[in-house]
Amino acid sequence: MSTAIETTGLCYSASKDFSIRGLSLKVPVGALYGFLGPNGCGKTTTIRLLLGLLRPDAGTVRLLGHPVPSELPEALSKTGVVPDRPHLHRYLSVGEAIAFHRAFYSTWDGKWAAEQLNEFRLLPGQKISRLSKGESAKLTILLALCQTPDLLVLDEPMDGLDPVVRRDVLSALLDYVSRRGATVFVSSHLVHELERFCDWIGVMDRGRLVVELPMTEFRNGNKRIRFTAVQPVEATDAPFTLLNRNRDAGSAETWVVRGWRPEMSAWFDRPGLAVREVTDLDLEDGFVELLRAFRAREA
Amino acid sequence: MSRPIVSDTIGIARPRSGRSNLLLLSLLTTAAAGPAAAQDASAWRDSVTRLTAEVRAIRDSLVSHDSTVVELERSNGVVLSATPQTRDAAVRGFRYFAEQRARWFGPALPSPGGFRLVVQTSARRDILARFGGAELWNGSVVLTGLPDTVDAARAQRAATEKDLGNQLVTGFSELMFPSLGEPTMQWLSDPPPLHMTDRDRRSTAMYMVMTSTGKAERGCVDGNLDFCAYALGLRAAPSSDLTGAYPLLVRADLFLTALEIGGPGGWSRILAAHPARAEEALLAASGLPADSLLTRWRDGMMALRPNHGPLESGAAFLVAGWVGALLLGALGASRWR
Amino acid sequence: MLKAIMRIQWKGSWHLVVALAVAAFALPIVSVRTGWSGTPANLPGFLTELELWGLFYPALAAVAAIVVAVSIWISDRRGHHIYALLLPIPRWRYVLLRYLGGLMLLLPIVLALWAGAIIAAASLDLPPGLRTFPHALAAKFALSLLLLFGVAFAVAASSSRALGISVRLLGLFIAAHIAVIMLRPGTNLIWTVVTALVTSPGPFAPLGGRWMLIDV
């Protein structure tokens, strides 16, 4: 098994205005996969399809090699999930919620759970209904991690959390991943959050997968190139993908390109063209340019 | 005097004219005045009530329907006629009547002069009637005993098909029972409620027997037949401190039980025996000595008591089946498939 | 797993179960004490009164069934069933665990009624001819509760979509009933259906009949 999550041609019609069309994801085993996309692009719907909470209209889903939904319980027994909204029984205390959760997982790590409880400064007697948002998030991630899953699916786990809690949660997550080598599939619309620890990235927009590639490739392949040209230049035969172009004052022009490699600078070695500057795009800029180009193409 | 609406030889309906009805009305009024004067107050009131009902029935006939009454069926000296709109209901009611008549009275008729029962059917027109059972139309159903020579009709009213059948049975039994003779009728007081189903009558009687609190009644439940005979008004008290008497419905149930045990011809046997006491009538009807009859009747009462209390047999299986179905339904609700 | 489910269900609804158990215990005792004068002076009246009190047994069963079924599912519904659906067990098994857990919550209520019925029956000095049925009454109550709980559980477990479809079907049925009444007076669809439901082998037949702790 080389992929932890694999979907092929996934389609789901959520409403008249929104649908997921032909989604094919491949999340390699052991990857820290960031699932990026603007609000409302279908990230949560995709996660629900992956976890069997929704039935796709077409396409297939495999989770840790198990087809969904026919082998869903087997897949879920090795998958820790942090949903996008609070879902725990609010009338229970922290200790009771942990005891209840533990009953369903034979792989539960009680020792680590006790340590993590201490680490997160959660008290077993605290009522879930009285937990703050941060404490709630910590409990949810604790439950997901202590079942020692091979795959973690996190839907906007840091959304609305303060920086301290965010750091605590992230460090617990990375600690777990480093110890267990688990695959993490984390969705977010906060680009910087994923930039720090993801090694794979998938970008989604309007129900479609825009791009899926290793983070290094994404980061290194997105460049801003400033050059001067006597005459307007066409990029039809370029070995990279032109995402955006801006004609500056005079003969200066700025291109945003994807799939850049250093040897491609040779393409600009032609009369009347002079490359002034090639700079890296940070993840956010790359993400924005990618979406802009995708939407222009769609339009 | 009015002419009969049914001829025992021709068997075809002859419409009664409005004029003859008016004549009948005046005759009825005149005839009722004489005996009424000699009666005590309550009997006199009863007569007036009955007369009023009969006058109303005949007035209704005059106003609307009688001119269209046609013969529908006849059997064993009894003829059924009805207005066209009530025809189907009348035929069904008559079948029920014929069944009950054969069961309790055999071919016997109330008197050699015949009789006439008029049941005025009325339709309910309010919205609530739409939610009820099968309703009747306004009309008349006439049950005539041949030869049809009587002057006065007994009038009843019915609003549903079930009412109609019951009114025919009740009206007929009221005409029949006085022929049993004074001692038996005194004991029974009223004709037994033949309109009740056997199950209802028997369980009501059983309930009365089991919850009666007098010494004689309780002794009867415990199996003392002398106490039973006393509580049922058949014999004198075996001891002076004995109290308690069963309600009249219990006597009626005993009488009908005797007729049932005796089988066909029970009614004729009673009439032939000219009983001087109720016990003799029961003997004639059932063919059993009083103690044997009382034993069988009492055993029947005891057997009617519910065996399992409030729990019906088979309830557990029924519940298990339905709970299984409901659980499958819950599992089938989309999220849990 | 069942233990874990039972523990959280008890935690979520113990106060309701205790209140219902107290009511179940008191019902038979109150029903006989209010009508019984100590003498067999008016047995038919006493039994009639007891029969009227009998209406409270199915009512109590209905309340208990609805309260327990709702309390079982309310938390899952609030979280859109997400937590439950993410547990690593087949979904039918989760529903079954919830159902069995619910039955365990109903058990104290049945036992309380049984105990109350035995005490109430033993407290009377009845004349011959009348008998007491504490066990049969408790069994009838248990079966009715089981049945009503099945219905309430199925409804409470349903998704909003399934509930919506049920409500629409009910509305259609009522509309059909009204149409039939207008076109064919005397045909009563609702009455026909209700009769089929409450008479054997209809699902609610065990609720019918007389709920008599004391009878002939």
- What are the chain C neighbours of B318 within 8 Å (beta carbons)? 200-201, 203, 205-206
What is residue B333's predicted lDDT score, i.e. its pLDDT?
63
Q: How far is CA B258 from the centre of its chain?
A: 17
User: For residue A200, is pLDDT > 50?
Assistant: yes
Residue A81 in contact with partner chain C when CB distance is under 8 A: yes
Residue B331 in contact with partner chain C when CB distance is under 8 A: yes
Closest to A154 (Cα-Cα) out of A167, A142, A168:
A142
pTM of the model: 0.72
Residue C112 in contact with partner chain B when CB distance is under 8 A: no
Q: Enumerate neighbours of C (3 or more CB pairs within 8 A).
A: A, B
What does the pLDDT look like over A245-262, one tens digit per residue? Answer: 888 777 888 888 888 888
User: For residue A205, is pLDDT > 60?
Assistant: yes
DSSP state of B62: I
The beta-strand segments (E) located in A24-125 are: 26-28, 32-36, 58-63, 66-68, 79-82
User: For residue A228, is pLDDT > 50?
Assistant: yes
The more confidently predicted of residues C55 and B113 is C55
In this structure, is the dihedral angle defined by the CA atoms of residues C129, C134, C135 and C139, taken in order, positive or negative?
positive
Cross-chain Cβ contact C95/B331 below 8 Å: yes
Among C7, C75, C86, the strongest candidate for a mutation testing the A interface, having the largest count of A CBs within 10 A, is C86
Which of residues 144 through 173 in chain C touch B, CB cutoff 8 A?
A: 144, 146-147, 150-151, 153-154, 157-159, 161-162
Whether C172 and C166 have beta carbons less than 8 Å apart is answered as: no
Mean of per-residue pLDDT scores for chain C: 88
What is residue B54's predicted lDDT score, i.e. its pLDDT?
56
Mean of per-residue pLDDT scores for chain A: 88
Select the residue of A77, A79, A87 nearest C83 (Cβ to Cβ): A87
What is residue B11's predicted lDDT score, i.e. its pLDDT?
31
How many Å lie between the alpha carbon of C163 and the closest alpha carbon of chain A? 18
Cross-chain Cβ contact A96/C7 below 8 Å: yes
Select the residue of A88, A90, A104 nearest C87 (Cβ to Cβ): A104
**What is the C-alpha separation between B140 and B86, in angstroms, rounded?**
7
Distances in Å between the alpha carbon of C172 and those of B70, B106, B127? Answer: 45, 52, 21
What is residue B42's predicted lDDT score, i.e. its pLDDT?
66
Q: Band of the pLDDT at C163, cuts 50, 70, 90?
A: confident
Residue B133 in contact with partner chain C when CB distance is under 8 A: yes
- What are the chain A neighbours of C75 within 8 Å (beta carbons)? 89-91
User: For residue C102, is pLDDT > 90?
Assistant: yes
Average pLDDT rounded to a whole number, residues A12-25: 90
**What is the C-alpha separation between A149 and A154, in angstroms, rounded?**
12
Q: Band of the pLDDT at A2, cuts 50, 70, 90?
A: confident
Which of residues 22 through 51 in chain C touch B, CB cutoff 8 A?
A: 40-44, 47
CA atoms within 13 A on the CB side of B103: 16
Least confident stretch, A95-104, B53-62, B313-322, C148-157 = B53-62
Residue B211 in contact with partner chain C when CB distance is under 8 A: yes
What is residue B50's predicted lDDT score, i.e. its pLDDT?
62
Q: Band of the pLDDT at C59, cuts 50, 70, 90?
A: very high
Cross-chain Cβ contact A89/C90 below 8 Å: no
Select the residue of C1, C75, C79 nearest A103 (Cβ to Cβ): C1
What is residue B121's predicted lDDT score, i.e. its pLDDT?
82
The more confidently predicted of residues C84 and A1 is C84
- What are the chain A neighbours of C13 within 8 Å (beta carbons)? none
- The answer to whether the peptide bond before residue A157 is cis (omega within 30 degrees of 0) is no
**What is the C-alpha separation between B192 and B256, in angstroms, rounded?**
8
**What is the C-alpha separation between B94 and B209, in angstroms, rounded?**
34
Cross-chain Cβ contact C181/B337 below 8 Å: no
ipTM of the complex model: 0.81
Strand A32-36 versus strand A200-205 pairing type: parallel
Buried (b) or exposed (e) across A89-120, using 16+ Cβ within 10 A? Answer: bbbbbbebbbbbbbbbbeebbeebbeebbeeb
Residue B333 in contact with partner chain C when CB distance is under 8 A: yes
Residue A69 in contact with partner chain C when CB distance is under 8 A: no
B-to-C residue pairs, Cβ atoms closer than 8 angstroms: 138
Percent residues over pLDDT 90 in chain A: 36
What does the pLDDT look like over B316-337, one tens digit per residue? Answer: 888 888 888 888 877 776 555 5
The more confidently predicted of residues C159 and C20 is C20
What is residue B9's predicted lDDT score, i.e. its pLDDT?
34
Residue B311 in contact with partner chain C when CB distance is under 8 A: yes
| Tens-level pLDDT at each residue, chain B (337 residues) | 343 444 333 333 333 333 344 333 343 333 333 333 444 666 676 676 666 655 555 555 555 445 678 888 888 888 898 888 888 888 998 999 999 999 999 888 887 778 888 888 876 655 555 555 456 677 888 888 877 666 666 777 777 778 888 989 999 999 899 999 999 999 999 999 998 999 999 999 998 898 887 889 888 988 899 999 999 999 888 888 888 889 999 999 999 999 999 988 899 999 999 999 999 999 999 999 999 999 999 999 999 887 777 777 788 888 888 888 888 877 776 555 5
Select the residue of B130, B305, B310 nearest C140 (Cβ to Cβ): B310
Residue A144 in contact with partner chain C when CB distance is under 8 A: no
Average pLDDT rounded to a whole number, residues A202-226: 87
**What is the C-alpha separation between B266 and B260, in angstroms, rounded?**
8
Average pLDDT rounded to a whole number, residues A154-182: 87
What is residue B186's predicted lDDT score, i.e. its pLDDT?
92
Closest to A169 (Cα-Cα) out of A187, A181, A157:
A157
The more confidently predicted of residues A73 and B131 is A73
**What is the C-alpha separation between C20 and C1, in angstroms, rounded?**
26
What is residue B61's predicted lDDT score, i.e. its pLDDT?
54
The more confidently predicted of residues C126 and B249 is B249
Residue B228 in contact with partner chain C when CB distance is under 8 A: no
- What are the chain C neighbours of A96 within 8 Å (beta carbons)? 7-8, 11
Chain A residue nearest residue C1, CA to CA = A103
